Amino acid sequence: MKIVFSAAARRDLDEVLGYLAEHQPSLVAPVGRRIRAVLDVLSRWPESARTVAQRPEIRVASLIHYPYRIFYRVTENAIEIIHIRHTSRRPWDENP
């Protein structure tokens, strides 16, 4: 299934990789590979990640070994990546 990033998710990804490039450059490539691997799994099994309790239409996939989560929704034609968050940030409370 096709993966589509929202504008907010693109900004999130840029921020994550930019922060790592500045503070931990050796993690940019491994985190990028892990994100791609998770997206590959989601493209094949879009409903494999758990749903968010407060928003059952939203799913969340963790980047095991790295403290990030990918929030997404499954539509008829695509998987829409809504948000990418570091797990230490306050809970995401925006309406997507």
Q: Is residue 28 part of a domain?
A: yes
> Residue 24 has which token pair?
């931990």
Q: Is residue 47 part of a domain?
A: yes
b/e map 6-26, b = 16+ CB within 10 Å: beebeebbeebbeebeeeeee
Q: What is the pLDDT along the chain (96 residues), one digit of tens a residue?
A: 999 999 999 999 999 999 999 999 999 999 999 999 999 999 999 999 999 888 889 999 999 899 999 999 999 999 999 999 988 865 555 444
Q: Is residue 91 part of a domain?
A: no
Query: Are 63 and 31 spatial neighbours (Cβ–Cβ below 8 Å)?
Result: yes
Q: Is residue 92 part of a domain?
A: no
**Domain region containing 26:** 2-86
Q: Is residue 44 part of a domain?
A: yes
The Cβ-side half-sphere exposure at 30, using a 13 Å CA radius, reads 11
Q: Count the domains in the chain.
A: 1
3-state percent breakdown (helix, strand, coil) of the chain, nearest 5: 40, 30, 30
Q: Is residue 62 part of a domain?
A: yes
Q: Is residue 76 part of a domain?
A: yes
What is the CATH classification number for the domain harbouring 75?
Answer: 3.30.2310.20
